[in-house]
Amino acid sequence: MSANDLEAQYRLLFEGSPICQFIEDYSEIKKYLDKLPVKKTRKEFEKYFQENPEEIEHVIKMAKIIDLNRGAVDLFEAPSKNELKGSLGAITGEATYDVFKDEILAFYFGKKVFQAEAINYTLSGKELQILFRAAIVPGFENSLKRIIVSIIDLTDLKTTKKALKSSEERYQALFNSVPIGIGIATYDGRLLEYNKSMLDIMGLDANSVKTVNVKEFYINPTDRENILDKLQKTGKIRNEEYMLKRNDGQIIPVLVNMDLFRLEDEDVVFSAFINNTEIHNYRQELEHRVRTRTLDLEQSNLELKIINEKLLQKSSELEEFVYTISHDLKSPLLSIAGFTYLIRTKIQEELDEELNEFFERIRHNTTRMEKIIEEILEYSRIGRIVESKSYYPLIEIIEEVLKTFTPRLKADNIKLDIQDNLPKVYAVRKQLLLVFQNLIDNAIKFMDPEKPEKEIRIGIEEENEKYITLFVADNGIGIREEDFSKLFRLFTRISDPRTEHITGSGIGLANVKKIVETCGGDVWVESKLNEGSTFYLKLPKYDFEL
């Protein structure tokens, strides 16, 4: 083969291959290292760079990219070769500094080939997991003026080969160093070129490869024809898996990349093979696991559905029981209140101060019991009795609630701040009134009377197409963080010396939670002691079932 033919084949492999390839010049680095005031030992250089980490970046900038192929342009997402030529520092980030240092020192101390995995980035900033192999071009061992760098993108298994050569030895050294099966074959299946990795993948040796035809690799005879047909139409094949038969009869999955080009007036196929057995087996194992887990999940879902149906039944029975008991308690309680009033009226003239106090306590407690029963009934109705929902402007709901609280707000000198342009929400009007009634009532009750400026704020925290998150905030006495989870439980009152004088049933916030969740929303609280509390309501803006 003539020198011109070798050069043409080299340029064909270099430019036509999709494998990323650089030719770099490290001669300035060599000169710089020669002049460093350290003993010329690997250990001393390692110590120097460890004590002067900024020097690594300085050294990298001395490395020059003097040539590259289209595969490098594609991999690093560059508009053209010009953006990549020049200093290696332009495409080398901090994540690669240590690996580059090891490479430079390896070459400086006599190694001719260096290989490592590293992280790099494209010009657009996308991270690349790469396997790169650098080799000194024969004849440049002393100057380091020509370094061949091959990069394989491990990120998406797009692994191909780039070949560069200026002589037959340089071409063969590079061609055989790539850990991917590379071959060039004619349309009728004759292998023109191949590397050692190709022989290893297909179980061939130097003798058997002479008589082999690539058609024999394919288990399905039509695969080869389909590949050639696709190459004629598109000119390339990327990351397609085929089942091939090795020379020893073993069937293996192979990831294939191919390009169609012309060599010496003949159409030939440039192929890159990767033994995909481990990934293939792992994928099959994952698919098996997915099928098994899916069956387990279906069984679990079925069991969960049965449990949920039972829970719903029990919950319905419990709510019905609570409603019935609460309803039935009202009649005797009203009777007690009525007869107590009649007795007190009849013997009014005979009552002393102590008896009057007893009757007053009976009246107070029956009234309180009646209110608690009414709140329990209200709680049991939520979600059990289907009431019509509609769209309501929030400002109208809040203004109606405030009619009850305006005197208390003025008496306690509490400032009320309501945000403008509150939207509509989809809910039951009566229940929405109850939510804000409870939240505003709590904000007033738990206000710190010693604060000179008392304030309640109502507004929007966040809004999107489906939900609106509202807040009702105060600068009252606040709530301990460990008590957050207890607030919305039924009949729960927080133990706090500051609030012992405040009466309540412990049902209000439970009602709020149940109403909001029945609407398809959520409620939570954030608070700091002595600074105040903020209750958040995430409510739907429309009916999800429409």
Domain spans of the chain?
A: 11-173, 180-275, 288-381, 390-540
Query: Token pair 């009849």 is at which residue?
Result: 346
Distances 256 to 158, 272, 276 between C-alpha atoms, Å: 10, 6, 9
On whether the CB atoms of residues 128 and 155 are closer than 8 A, the answer is yes
CATH of 11-173, one of 3.90.420.10, 3.40.50.2000, 3.30.450.20, 3.10.20.600: 3.30.450.20
Q: What is the pLDDT of residue 181?
A: 80
On whether the CB atoms of residues 437 and 408 are closer than 8 A, the answer is no
**Torsion 520-526-527-531 (CA) sign:** negative
**SS3 state at 281:** helix
Q: What's the CA gap between 478 and 406, in Å, rounded?
A: 22
Of 148, 156, 151, 198, nearest to 173 by C-alpha is: 148
Q: What is the pLDDT of residue 164?
A: 38
Averaged over successive runs of 10 residues, the pLDDT of the chain (546 residues) comes to 65 71 90 87 89 88 88 88 82 82 90 88 85 88 90 65 46 65 81 80 80 81 83 85 83 85 81 78 75 80 75 58 57 68 75 75 71 63 64 89 88 90 84 89 86 91 88 90 81 62 68 85 90 91 56
Phi, psi of 188 (to 5 degrees): -85, 5
On whether the CB atoms of residues 119 and 95 are closer than 8 A, the answer is yes
Q: For 511-536, b where at least 16 C-beta lie within 10 A, e where not — what string?
A: bbbbbbebbbbebebebeeeebbbbb
User: What Rg do the C-alpha atoms of the chain give, in angstroms?
Assistant: 41
pTM of the model: 0.38
Give domain 288-381's CATH architecture: Orthogonal Bundle (1.10)
Contacts with 306 (C-beta within 8 Å, 6 or more apart), sequence order: none
Q: What is the pLDDT of residue 301?
A: 81
As beta bridge partners, residue 260 has 269
**SS3 state at 16:** helix
**Superfamily (CATH H level) for 180-275:** PAS domain (3.30.450.20)
Enter the tokens of residue 496.
């706090």
Provide, for the chain, the percentages of residues in helix, strand and coil under a 3-state DSSP scheme, each rounded to the nearest 5.
Answer: 50, 25, 30
Neighbours of 178 (CB within 10 A): 22
The burial of 300, by beta-carbon neighbours within 10 Å (0-12 exposed, 13-18 middle, 19 or more buried), is given as exposed
Of 115, 77, 120, nearest to 95 by C-alpha is: 120
Q: What is the pLDDT of residue 162?
A: 37
Phi, psi of 359 (to 5 degrees): -60, -35
Q: What is the pLDDT of residue 533?
A: 92
Neighbours of 388 (CB within 10 A): 6
Within 128-183, residue ranges assigned H as helices are: 168-177
Enter the tokens of residue 201.
């993948």
Contacts with 161 (C-beta within 8 Å, 6 or more apart), sequence order: 17, 19, 150, 175, 178, 180, 182, 195, 272
On whether the CB atoms of residues 455 and 474 are closer than 8 A, the answer is yes
Domain 390-540 - what CATH class? Answer: alpha beta
Q: What's the CA gap between 537 and 460, in Å, rounded?
A: 9
**SS3 state at 446:** coil
Q: How many residues does the chain have?
A: 546
Do 11-173 and 180-275 share a fold? yes
DSSP state of 137: P
End-to-end CA gap in the chain: 77
Q: What's the CA gap between 426 and 541, in Å, rounded?
A: 5
The burial of 268, by beta-carbon neighbours within 10 Å (0-12 exposed, 13-18 middle, 19 or more buried), is given as buried
Q: What's the CA gap between 126 and 74, in Å, rounded?
A: 13
On whether the CB atoms of residues 185 and 194 are closer than 8 A, the answer is no
